Amino acid sequence: MLAPEVETTAEDIAEMEVRGAATIARAAAEALEAQARDSDADAPAQFREELRAAARRLRNTRPTAVSLPNALRYVLNEVEGDTVAALRASTIEAAERFRDQLDRAQDDLGAIGANRLRDGDTIMTHCHSTDALACVEAALDDGKEIEAVVKETRPRKQGHITAKQLREWDVPVTMVVDNAARRYLDDVDHVLVGADSIAADGSVVNKIGTSMLAVSARERGVPVMVAAQTLKLHPDTLTGHTVEIEMRDETEVLSDEERAEVGDVDVENPAFDVTPPRYVDAIVTERGQFPPESVVTLMREQYGEGTSEPWAE
């Protein structure tokens, strides 16, 4: 039996009620914890099978943010015991540990990223990234004054979430449509974005439009800083796999009403794109900041040469 919270969480992730790579990872770990808590399995094998089924359900929601399978893997690999009670306790502890690590990693990453931001700097953001905002928050805590140009981020307008958070911290915000980014790059000192996945060659997978922004930033001489805790490192890319880019519903781009007006056109709606490493100046993680080409060393240390799929049937 799947715990109701697993189904709700899976739906929330798929519908983007819960979104952003780190937040998705946290929700997935919490859902596994709920599964462990609510399970009425009589036998250890049944408990484990239910947990794997819950992980599969969560895994199949959105394909691009590697923090999701990394979170599931972390919890499932720590499940141990010969009785249902022991398995339950170890799952709950693993999920709690995972959440603590996530929080600590974001704090540590924020402190490191803040060192790149000087008093009086202006950043340009794309989408909404809690890792990127952790750098701003730490800089503000250090007493620095920061301003922001926030890209709206079509089609889902996650820029609104970023703007709201920055305003709560009293950061002056200028909101621009995505197409205005190049014009405003002359006014900013950094492009600061997050990541859904980072590949072994240092390519950054993030919200669609990140790569266009990074190319324009390079042309204008504005450094591009990617804030991404090591949970965003995609271990499968060590063995040559590519990161799947999620294609979302076309109604996010063209509503049924608009389509009736426009007529019969094909719509493509990729949610993410890939920024090649040569356009990225630094990847800021909780373990330090790295040129993109060197994250592969970090990835090998963290994940070895391959990964398991502990949720497989």
User: Which residues are part of the catalytic machinery?
Assistant: 127, 196
- By CB under 6 A, which span of 21-29, 51-59, 94-102, 293-301 interacts with ligand RUB? 21-29
In whole angstroms, how close is the CB of 83 to ligand RUB at the nearest point? 36
Query: What's the CA angle centered on 207, arms 203 and 208, to 5 degrees?
Result: 90
In whole angstroms, how close is the CB of 19 to ligand RUB at the nearest point? 4
Q: What torsion do the CA atoms of 219, 221, 226, 227 make, to the nearest 10 degrees?
A: -150
Amino acid letter for position 218? R
307 three-state secondary structure = coil
Closest by CA to 28, choosing from 85, 82, 73, 71, is 71
Q: Are strands 147-151 and 122-125 parallel, antiparallel or unpaired?
A: parallel
Q: Which of 20, 110, 209, 310 binds ligand RUB (CB under 6 A)?
A: 20
d(CA 114, CA 111): 5
One character per residue 261-280, x = contact with ligand RUB (rule: CB under 6 A): ----------x---------
- By CB under 6 A, which span of 31-39, 116-124, 135-143, 193-201 interacts with ligand RUB? 193-201
d(CA 16, CA 153): 15
Instruction: Write the secondary structure of 155-174 as one string of H (helix), E (strand) and C (coil).
Output: CCCCHHHHHHHHHHCCCCEE
**170-189: which residues touch ligand RUB (CB under 6 A)?**
none
Q: Which of 129, 162, 203, 285 binds ligand RUB (CB under 6 A)?
A: 129
One character per residue 87-126, x = contact with ligand RUB (rule: CB under 6 A): ----------------------------------------
- By CB under 6 A, which span of 93-101, 129-137, 166-174, 283-291 interacts with ligand RUB? 129-137
In whole angstroms, how close is the CB of 295 to ligand RUB at the nearest point? 16
Nearer CB in complex with ligand RUB: 65/112 = 65
Q: How many residues bind ligand RUB (CB under 6 A)?
A: 18
Q: Are 90 and 80 in contact (CB under 8 A)?
A: yes
The residues with which 275 forms a beta bridge, in sequence order, are 204
Q: Are 240 and 191 in contact (CB under 8 A)?
A: no
The residues with which 123 forms a beta bridge, in sequence order, are 148, 190
Q: Rounded to an integer, what is the distance from CA 280 to the centroid of its chain?
A: 17
Closest by CA to 310, choosing from 20, 6, 23, 32, is 32
Give the nearest residue (CB) to ligand RUB: 194
Q: Rounded to an integer, what is the distance from CA 242 to the centroid of its chain?
A: 17
In whole angstroms, how close is the CB of 13 to ligand RUB at the nearest point? 9
One character per residue 35-74, x = contact with ligand RUB (rule: CB under 6 A): ------------------------------x---------
Q: Which of 131, 152, 236, 281 binds ligand RUB (CB under 6 A)?
A: 131
In whole angstroms, how close is the CB of 112 to ligand RUB at the nearest point? 14
d(CA 304, CA 236): 10
Nearer CB in complex with ligand RUB: 122/206 = 206
In whole angstroms, how close is the CB of 140 to ligand RUB at the nearest point? 17
- State the residues that interact with ligand RUB by CB under 6 A: 19-23, 65, 127, 129-132, 158, 194-196, 206-207, 271
